[in-house]
Structure 1
Amino acid sequence: MITKMQKNYLPILPGLGLSFIVAVIAKLLALIFPTIGGATIAILMGIFLGNTYFKQPNLAVGTKFSESRLLEYSVVLLGLTVTFQTISEMGWKGVVYVLCMMTIVISGTYWVGTKIGFGQKMTLMMAGGNAVCGSSAIGAIAPAIKADDQEKGQIITLVNLLGTVMMLVLPIIGVKFFAHDYLAQSALMGGTLQSVGQVVAGASLISSKVVQYAMLFKIVRILMLVVVVFLFEKIAAKNDATIKTSKEGKRKMPIPWYVAGFLLLCIVNSSFGLPSVFNTTAHFLSTWFETIALAAIGLRLDFQKFRKEGPQFLAFGAAVGSIQTIAALILLSLLHL
């Protein structure tokens, strides 16, 4: 008899197992091609295999688990590898950079969306998804502005497509413009890419150190989610009488659990000076979780989705991606981060 636990976890195994196998092969190939690195090989192998031999529907549950949950575990474990001293390297310029980027992306996306002809709700979701944290931000914004499921699904698809393209392009731009400046490269990745997975994936194509610092910039963006949802709800309420803002604070918008976990472990690591074995173990596990997740991201990348979206959607995505990239390069040059 299959127990409840088996029923819940058995569907995960095929996709998780495949992601793990791809990660192991990538790690072994990285020994032969160290300049490429296991992370890059994992995602490239995943993209190839996912669009050729492994399109079976039964893999989707496991690859989704690997992409989302394992990356969350990886982010939490990063908390044991950084301290307040590490975070302080961002400095006030890093915080200013993130806030300026979010303001420019939200304003630019809203302007472009209005000009192209998208409705306010879709434009707000597109702005929040790109400015904060991809699908997670959209999922938080949609109920606050009373967006329907179809609008939400369309924007999530568009944001993920844009994030996937930028995930592969920005590392090239980062290396070209900021060859040996890991902090600027980290700011470019963490301050621009849409989802946590895309930040990790893009930064991994440069170096593990860039991954660590890019996540700091990304977490600052995620911490602003509550503010963004509150403001968007106010904006939407002005044009839609059916939307009632919550003055009593009944709607709670906590930060994602893995961000809280990261911050908690960072506080512990900074306060108690843990033995090096904690750092070493956390780094080892985080790297493996990350590589498996990157393999899963590659396996889930379906090129057919690019062809299905209409030219208006693709034009919207291309315009927003251009705004993000150009704004990041200008701000990084001005702030000398």
Structure 2
Amino acid sequence: MKNNDTKHSYLTKMMVVLPGLLTAFIVAVVSKIAAIWLPTLGAATIAILLGILLGNTILKNPILEKGTKMAESKLLEFSVVLLGATVTFQTIAQIGLKGGLFVLLQMSLTIVAAYVLGRKMQFSDNMSLLMAGGNAVCGSSAIASIAPAIHAKEEEKGQIITLVNLLGTILMLLLPIIGSIIYGTDILTKSALIGGTLQSVGQVVASASMINGEVVELAMLFKIMRIMLLVVVVYLFGRFKQQTATTPAQAEPAAKKTGSALPWYVVGFVLFCIINSLIHLPQELSQTAHFFSGWFEITALAAIGLRLDFQKFFKEGKRFLIYGLSVGLIQVLLAIALIALLSI
């Protein structure tokens, strides 16, 4: 009887996610086909743009929400893990110490700028911290991890997640153009600009895919370095909040469950990279990993587009949009300045 209940529960969950998951996959297939005639755009770009168009028109349906959410998160995570099987220490060495210093400086300056600007624009302390962490580290995931550590309200968290996603989408489309204008054919600098600036993993993959596969690999390495510092950011934000608290209630220790542990896909990526570097995986295995990683990526990007609700953005108001766009402009200018200063 228990087994039957378990099977029924599993089937029910599958039926709930299937419509959105299948829709994202169909958009991915259409994008792959369209890319044959539009190779300059590429399947990744087409997938997210087509997803945005359909998700805000004929496919704007709550029944798709759970499936597209799963496609956006889980498939992209698997894609990142499999990408590790195509990367070695030699690839990472291309970033070098300068790349590591670039990430540290870019994150630190972004956090300071976003926080100070938020306070100047009269946003709450929590919202300014969430905006700073979300933009500096990894978007929604960072915000969700930081929120319990600083005792942020659900409303504050939701508003900043919406704003960060809007900003990331705009930059996702603009950075490949900006990078190509400034850096021409230089792969490493364009990778640093995209991987060191964009908010979420999906946005980094989508933006880098608009250039080529090599930029995807290198940009993801810059991004992984940022994500690995999430633990440090959550800890420091929690301490900062305690020190600046004005009441005993605000000064309570951060909640135990802060979500500050490294995401499993980052660990998976690093492990695959170590294995591939030490024993050099057979070419067939790397090619298979690359094939599935590519399909997971395109499907996830289609889901990101389908889930992007423009109405939510317009509801946030002018002050939110000015804050978001200002932080984005600062991030891009910082990245360009640091790339020049460090001669990456």
Determine which of 292, 300, 309 is the counterpart of 2:299: 292
Q: Shift of the alpha carbon at 1:35?
A: 2.2
Query: Is 1:267 the equivalent of 2:299?
Result: no
Residue in 2 aligned with 1:13? 18
Q: Distance in 1 between matches of 2:211 and 2:312?
A: 27
The structure 2 residue matched to 1:313, chosen from 320, 328, 335, is 320
Where in structure 2 are the equivalents of 1:164-203 lying within 5 Å?
Answer: 164-203=169-208
Structure 1 letter corresponding to 2:293: S
| Counterpart code for 1:28 | I
Contact 2:55 2:308 in 1 (8 A): yes
Alignment of 1:1-337 (within 5 A): 3-240=8-245, 241-242=248-249, 243-245=251-253, 253-337=260-344
Q: CA deviation at 1:252?
A: 7.0
* Cα RMSD after superposing both structures: 1.7
Q: Give me the whole-angstrom Cα distance separating, in 1, the residues matched to 2:134 and 2:258.
A: 19
Deviation for aligned residue 1:250: 8.8
Count of residues paired in the alignment: 336
d(CA) in 1 for partners of 2:122 and 2:41?
42
Deviation sequence 1:203-256 (CA, Å, 0-9, x none): 11111211111110001001111111111111110122333447xx99672100
* Moved >4 Å (runs of 4+): 249-252
The letter of the residue matching 1:115 is K
**Same amino acid, percent of matched pairs:** 57
TM-score w.r.t. the length of structure 2 is 0.94
The alpha-carbon deviation at position 117 of structure 1 amounts to 0.4
Offset at residue 143 of structure 1 (A)? 0.6
Partner of 2:211: helix, strand, or coil?
coil
SS in 1 for 2:139: helix
User: Displacement of 1:186 after TM fit?
Assistant: 0.8
Structure 1: how far apart are the matches of 2:286 and 2:211? Answer: 21
Distance 1:327 1:24, change over 3 A: same
Q: TM-score, normalised by structure 1?
A: 0.96
